[in-house]
Amino acid sequence: MRTVRNAAMAAALLLAAAGCSVTRIVAKVDQNPLKQVAEKAAAHYSVTWVDDSTLKLRDGWFWHSVLAIGYSAFRADLHYGKNELEGTFYLKSHQFLMWWWPFYLDTSGSFVGAALKPAMRTQMHEILDWAGVAKSDRQERYISPP
């Protein structure tokens, strides 16, 4: 019984330390850039249109998935409204050692997932560049998962 309780405590600590936030960027844009982003992203991302003003991009990270014995994907959820582009960027991962419980990793400079974050930031900035968002116009925040 004590072993089970210790394992549960270890899992809870692992989940708490794993990271459970996403990066949210809000930027002013002149027109809806989502069609342009979808065209450029089609070569590297799975592109899903929710409606005319909402686009979801997903890039499965094969090697991270294999090494973590699970599934990991970088995700970008973009929404356009009132000359404003809102983007939510994160790595969502389901891993064997965490009983496939999903966790989210933002692009902040924190220690958790530090080896993955440069690649995540590169993907995030690439998508925002496709949207025509200037780096000076990007307001970055870290929030709870979607």
Is residue 96 situated within a structural domain? yes
Backbone angles phi, psi at 125, to 5 degrees: -70, -35
Max intra-chain CA distance, the chain:
61
pLDDT tens string 67-110: 667 778 888 999 999 889 999 998 877 777 766 677 777 777 66
Number of domains in the chain: 1
pLDDT at 114 over 60: yes
pLDDT at 1 over 60: no
CA atoms within 13 A on the CB side of 106: 21
Is residue 2 situated within a structural domain? no
pLDDT, position 53? 94
**Long-range contacts made by residues 61-67, C-beta under 8 angstroms, separation at least 24?**
61/91, 64/93, 64/116
Is residue 136 situated within a structural domain? yes
| CATH code, 24 | 3.30.530
Is residue 7 situated within a structural domain? no
Is residue 103 situated within a structural domain? yes
Is residue 11 situated within a structural domain? no
Is residue 14 situated within a structural domain? no
Q: Which domain holds residue 28?
A: 19-143
Nearest CA to 124 among 57, 48, 33, 79?
57
Is residue 9 situated within a structural domain? no
